[in-house]
Structure 1
Amino acid sequence: MASQYSLKGHILPELIYLIGLVVLCNVALSMQSNDVNCIVYNEEFMECTWSHSEGKPNYTLHYWYYSEPETECRNYIQQDGYNIGCNFSNNEIKQFRDFNIYRNGFSDSGNESTPTQTFQLQSRVKPNAPGNLKVNATINNGLSLSWEAPMPRRRCLMYRVRYQSNKDKDWQSATVTEQTRFKLASVDSEKLYTFQVQSKINPYCGTTDLWSEWTLPVYWGRNDTQIVNSKEGLHTLISVLSLLGLIVLVVSLMRSERLKVIIIPKIPNPGRSFDPLFDTHNGNFQDWLGVPKDTLEGFKSNYHENVCIVSESPPDSLQSSDHGGSYEQLGRTEIPGKASIPGNRGEIQPKNTSPATLFSDIAVFVESSRYAINENIYVRV
């Protein structure tokens, strides 16, 4: 019993080690043998590419079809001076036949070759995205989506349609075979729908998982966000145009004196109106007004009238006849500056005085008369 348990303890770890080594070798061989990827783009051209690692030689690609001689690649794809792929034209592509390739390289250790890989090119076709995608409304709130096939062989294509409304979180998809049209029975006109389509070779023409890229999205429906954004854009545009107009107006005012006078009239300065009186006419007011000399001469008087002042004598100088006094008249006329000098025949002769003395006497006489009149009024009251 002890020998059996010891034998199992030695054999089991070695068996596990061998199994793991075989698996790793198979994985390494599979990775090494499948390091070249060939894709036929829309049945127009083909590219077979691989990656280059540091320290690896610069590989050349060799290919052949069944029962045909081996041929080296005629058009390499290079990167940093190393071959990383081969480009095949349309006349070099033959579907439904085995396409064999291998790589060959030279290094210091000698010639290095990779295992041969075989492809069925009809299963390596990747179509382009469908073209001219359109969406139209139909009766009963339906939609019809149409597009154009990217390849001449329309029967070998299948399509996948995905659509989503602005109220949905996930995409909804549908598959269309041998047709270039998709219909939705009913949609909500208050929502905004987004549609995209991609294409692939169908199982009747090839077994592949290579789908094309998605088309550019097309939209149908109502988007409140777009309406709000358009209104905001319009308001922004109006504000910018108003600001530009204001700037242009300010610049025009600064450069155009005539426009500045029309919009902002100048306030007149009355002080400047009298400048010609002193600058041109030397203070001559009549000359500045433009009054003719003949008119000024017409306003001058050609006669002279003596001043005659009538006043009332003060009440103190009046004597009543009851007291035996002599009666004098209340009103008498005297001319200031003319003294009463008896003449030869009892007449009063005026005394000649100067104009200055005459003006002084008149002023004194007026003041005394004003005082007498006020006094007389007071006594009577």
Structure 2
Amino acid sequence: MASRYSLKGKVLPKLVSSIWLIVLFNVPYSVLSDDVNCIVHNEEFMECTWSHNGGKINYTLYYWYGSNPAEECRNYIQQDGYNIGCNFSANEIVQFKDFYVFRNGSNDSQNISRAAQIFHLQDQVKPFPPGNLVVNATEDNGLLLHWDAPMPTERCLEYEVRHQNNKEKEWQKASVSMQRNFNLASVDPEKFYTFQVKSKVNIYCGTTQLWSEWSLPVHWGKNDTQKENSKEAFRTYITVISLVGLILLVICLIRSERLKVIIIPKIPNPGRNFDPLFNNHNGNFQDWLGVSKDTLEGFKSSYHENVCIVSESPPDSIQSSIHGGSYEHLGRTEIPGKSFSPDGKGEAHPKFTSPATLFSDIAVFVESSRYDINENIYVRV
């Protein structure tokens, strides 16, 4: 008898759902599909979603519990104008009772219907991540991690903790049944530890594999890694700025001729210094130097030597003796126009010559001598 009632309880909901399908949509009952996915988020709301494969088909969703009448979704989730899901509030969620959904599609020419799906909502609960993680050091050189449950029904949750330090690359994981704390023994105070926790409904309240997301991390210890990362980031920042500055300097050098001359001066070409002498002054050295005529006249000598006209007379014995001889006898200089002849006593007496001969002698004397201005004497050349 018990087995008969048990079988009746399993067959009756399926029979009722098939009747609703035939009456409402005039379609035959078919095998259940898995096109729709329903998830109860932290027992606060539920989302039943499906994928839109393109085309112009827009689906509507109908749902019901057990033998209750079917109802259409009241709050659709849309994307690009097409329905892709349905939102259910907390008062529309009933756990431990069969939940049916039916998706009906239509376009301009025909109706396209999907088979009904059944869910046990107690197995579709996905909790939120645990919050308010706190880690404290214990007296026995350990760490105690504590957190808050994301759902009011704390006894229906189990947790998983993962932790690592700055010397390890892989996470260490540990399962926690229903406690909201975790003890890590024998920690190194020189290391930097990181903790995270996630949760799911345990076997006493449902059979699900829907874990929550990992919680926000909580840290404990010396954060040497962050200091090293900060130093590395600072070095990278300085390197990037230096490279950018160097590139900008090169661009400025290429585009600015004046800046290029200041930083990299050109080597002067001495040959071009004399170009204005020939191009602008036609080789006039005085104009090129900018020296005035008065200044130039000041460098000229004020001494002028008169031109002396020299004429030759017929040679005679006296001229030959003058031209071939020397005016210096006995340490004295003879004056042209006068000749000396010794007498019997050894004394010299002047000998008079004619005026023509005297003029010729003077000319020869001037030609073979130069006048020293400073000493006011004639010097024999």
What TM-score do the two structures reach when normalised by structure 2? Answer: 0.54
Contact 1:342 1:349 in 2 (8 A): no
Aligned residue pairs total: 303
Q: Is 1:117 the counterpart of 2:127 in the alignment? A: no
Query: Could you list the per-position Cα deviations for residues 4-34 of structure 1 after superposition, in whole angstroms to 9, with x for gaps in the alignment?
Result: xxxxxxxxxxxxxxxxxxxxxxxxxxx9447
1:127 to partner: Cα distance: 0.8
Change (3 A) 1:247 1:223: same
What pairs with 1:241-252 in structure 2 (closer than 5 Å)? 241-251=241-251
In 1, Cα distance between the equivalents of 2:196 and 2:288? Answer: 98
Amino acid at match of 1:257: R
Contact 2:41 2:127 in 1 (8 A): yes
1:175 to partner: Cα distance: 0.7
Change (3 A) 1:264 1:60: closer
Contact 1:131 1:150 in 2 (8 A): yes
What pairs with 1:64-143 in structure 2 (closer than 5 Å)? 64-65=64-65, 68-75=68-75, 86-96=86-96, 98-101=97-100, 103=102, 117=118, 119=120, 121-131=121-131, 133=133, 135=135, 141-143=141-143
Query: Could you list the per-position Cα deviations for residues 258-295 of structure 1 after superposition, in whole angstroms to 9, with x for gaps in the alignment?
Result: 79448748759596389579739943389834584598
1:90 to partner: Cα distance: 2.6
* Structure 1 residue ranges without an equivalent (≥5): 1-30, 307-316, 319-327, 364-368, 371-381
Q: Say which SS state the counterpart of residue 39 (structure 1) adopts.
A: strand
1:170 to partner: Cα distance: 6.1
Q: Choose 191-200 or 201-210, whichever is displaced more.
A: 201-210
In 2, Cα distance between the equivalents of 1:201 and 1:216? Answer: 20
1:167 aligned partner: 168
Q: Choose 220-229 or 144-153, whichever is displaced more.
A: 220-229
What pairs with 1:199-210 in structure 2 (closer than 5 Å)? 199-202=199-202, 206=206, 208-210=208-210
Q: Say which SS state the counterpart of residue 285 (structure 2) adopts.
A: coil
Amino acid at match of 2:281: D
2:329 aligned partner: 329
1:15 aligned partner: none
Change (3 A) 1:32 1:245: same
Change (3 A) 1:173 1:89: same
Q: Say which SS state the counterpart of residue 245 (structure 1) adopts.
A: helix
Q: Say which SS state the counterpart of residue 242 (structure 1) adopts.
A: helix
Contact 1:196 1:214 in 2 (8 A): yes
1:296 to partner: Cα distance: 1.9
In 2, Cα distance between the equivalents of 1:182 and 1:268? Answer: 84
Amino acid at match of 1:212: S
2:240 aligned partner: 240
In 2, Cα distance between the equivalents of 1:346 and 1:87? Answer: 154
What pairs with 1:120-269 in structure 2 (closer than 5 Å)? 121-131=121-131, 133=133, 135=135, 141-154=141-154, 156-165=156-165, 166-167=167-168, 171-175=172-176, 177=178, 179=180, 181-202=181-202, 206=206, 208-218=208-218, 220-221=220-221, 230-251=230-251, 255=256, 257=258, 260-261=261-262, 264=265
Q: Is 1:63 the counterpart of 2:63 in the alignment? A: yes
Instruction: Say what the alpha-carbon RMSD is for the aligned residues.
Output: 5.8
1:92 to partner: Cα distance: 1.2
1:173 to partner: Cα distance: 0.8
Q: Say which SS state the counterpart of residue 186 (structure 1) adopts.
A: coil
Contact 1:339 1:351 in 2 (8 A): no
Amino acid at match of 1:246: L
What TM-score do the two structures reach when normalised by structure 1? Answer: 0.54
Q: Is 1:272 the counterpart of 2:282 in the alignment? A: no
The percent of aligned pairs where both chains have the same amino acid is 47
Change (3 A) 1:168 1:140: farther
Change (3 A) 1:81 1:229: closer
What pairs with 1:297-336 in structure 2 (closer than 5 Å)? 300-301=302-303, 329=329, 331=331, 333=333
